[in-house]
């Protein structure tokens, strides 16, 4: 008689081992933004698992960062940014699209990393349906696209990024510093001097970034 382990049980056990802990996010935001490159965003809804390699991020650091939502202080919306590292911050931009962030640093210091682009891996067919397109390079090559492909909405705002719905895995892939580019952030021209900060990071030569 043999012991049989169902494939999905194995998946759950392995994913728990690989899940990034809150301590990973409780570091300087720029470091987290860089080290998230090459990690895997995973979303589980029912039996469906969607995943993809993070290839582009942006850092938003504190109330002094004029591009950070918290630059206008503590409000009902920015409250999430003041929570502990590893909290999911999702908001609606331009009345239509969602943006996924992970809160960083110590509780009370409002900062986060925006997940700007992902290279789809698991559940690509579902992503195509969610996005209403079949073009692989157009599935998650932008923050709004990531959320649409993965079905991420404000309902996840405030959740833990090490929960049952959403988490980030280390699958052992290493991204060297030489393969990371730092450039100014997108869509924040209103942020004065901060608009010039090179706080957008992406993997050089990856074909799934938002390229702008």
Contacts of 72 (CB under 8 A, 6+ apart): 78
127 is a site residue for DNA (CB under 7 A): no
Contacts of 2 (CB under 8 A, 6+ apart): none
Q: How far is the CB of 190 from DNA (least distance, A)?
A: 4
195 is a site residue for DNA (CB under 7 A): no
Q: How far is the CB of 165 from DNA (least distance, A)?
A: 19
80 is a site residue for DNA (CB under 7 A): no
Site string for DNA, 19-58 (x = CB under 7 A): ---------------------------------------x
Interface with DNA (CB under 7 A), residue from 138, 179, 180, 184: 138
For residue 189 the two structure tokens come to: 């021209």
Chain centroid to CA 140: how far? Answer: 11
Residues 89-118 that bind DNA (CB under 7 A): 89, 91-97, 99, 101, 112, 114
CA 50, 55, 56, 59 dihedral sign is positive
In terms of CB distance, is 96 or 177 closer to DNA?
96
For residue 95 the two structure tokens come to: 């009345």
d(CA 18, CA 69) in angstroms, rounded, equals 31
Stretch that binds DNA, among 10-18, 74-82, 122-130, 173-181 (CB under 7 A): 74-82
Whole-number Cα distances in Å, 112 to 10, 16, 35, 38, 102 = 32, 23, 13, 18, 5
- Cβ–Cβ contacts within 10 Å for residue 27, how many? 14
**Site residues for DNA per CB under 7 A:** 58, 60, 67-69, 72, 75-78, 81, 89, 91-97, 99, 101, 112, 114, 131, 133, 138, 142-146, 154, 185-188, 190, 210
């Amino acid at each position: 008689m043999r012991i049989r382990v169902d494939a999905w049980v194995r998946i759950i056990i392995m994913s728990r081992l690989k899940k990034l802990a809150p301590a990973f996010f409780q570091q300087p935001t720029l470091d987290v933004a860089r080290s998230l490159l090459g990690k895997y965003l995973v979303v589980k809804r029912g039996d469906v698992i969607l995943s993809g390699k993070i290839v582009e991020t942006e850092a938003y650091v504190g109330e002094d960062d004029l591009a950070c939502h918290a630059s206008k202080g503590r409000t009902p919306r920015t409250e999430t940014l003041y929570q502990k590292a590893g909290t999911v911050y999702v908001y609606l931009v331009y009345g239509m699209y969602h943006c996924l962030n992970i809160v960083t640093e110590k509780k009370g210091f409002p900062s986060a990393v925006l997940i700007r682009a992902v290279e789809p891996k698991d559940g690509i067919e579902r992503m195509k349906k969610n996005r209403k397109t079949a073009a692989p390079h157009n599935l998650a090559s932008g923050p709004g696209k990531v959320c649409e492909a993965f079905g991420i909405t404000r309902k996840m705002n405030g959740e833990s990024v090490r929960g049952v719905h959403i988490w980030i895995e280390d699958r052992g892939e290493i991204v060297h510093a030489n393969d990371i580019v730092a450039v100014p952030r997108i869509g924040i021209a209103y942020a004065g001097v901060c608009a010039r900060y090179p706080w957008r990071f992406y993997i050089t030569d990856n074909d799934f970034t938002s390229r702008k």
